Amino acid sequence: MMETIEQFLESKKIRVTAMRLLIYKFLAERQVAVTLSDIENTFEKADRTTLYRTIKTFEDKAIVHQIDDGTGITKYALCEQGCNCEIETDLHLHFHCNNCNQTICLTEHKIPQIKVPDGFVSENINLVVKGICDKCSGQ
């Protein structure tokens, strides 16, 4: 029934390595989007490049999606099951807290239909809401 991480990675044609398992687990246990530096700080023994390329592999195989929250630093989060990143970046919205600087996937909150002028073709939408998160608003 419940497939292991190893099985999951293999199903996505990603070879299982110690590094990849560690990084996958790290992403899975965090609720917020992470930067490459976050990962670097967590796995100090590993080389930057390896971490970088691991995330890139995950992205290519569509189990991680990239988030541009406007801080200038790319963040990453595991895709939901059934997410269609390969086709278009998934259309849930992201929330960036101006206080704790964390970015959260609001996977339940889909992006509404956006009208564009005649002649423009919309393929993809990035929507980031900035403000104060639930933890920081003391609520």
Partner DNA sequence: CCAATACCTGCAACGGAAGTGCAATTATTG
Partner DNA sequence: CAATAATTGCACTTCCGTTGCAGGTATTGG
Residues in touch with a second copy (CB under 8 A) = 68, 70, 72, 74, 93, 95, 98, 106, 108-109, 112, 114-135, 137, 139
Specify the residue, 35 or 109, whose C-beta has the smaller distance to DNA.
35
DSSP labels, 44-89 = TTS-HHHHHHHHHHHHHTTSEEEE--SSSS-EEEEPPTT--TTTS-
Straight-line distance from the first to the last Cα atom of the chain, in angstroms, rounded to the nearest whole number: 37
SS3 36: helix
Q: Which does 100 bind (CB under 5 to 8 A by kind): Zn ion, a second copy, Mn ion, none?
A: Zn ion
Least distance to Mn ion, CB of residue 89, Å: 9
List residues binding DNA (CB under 7 A). Answer: 14-20, 35-37, 45-50, 52-54, 56-57, 72-74
CA atoms of 93 and 110, how far apart (whole Å): 6
Q: Which does 89 bind (CB under 5 to 8 A by kind): Zn ion, DNA, Mn ion, none?
A: none
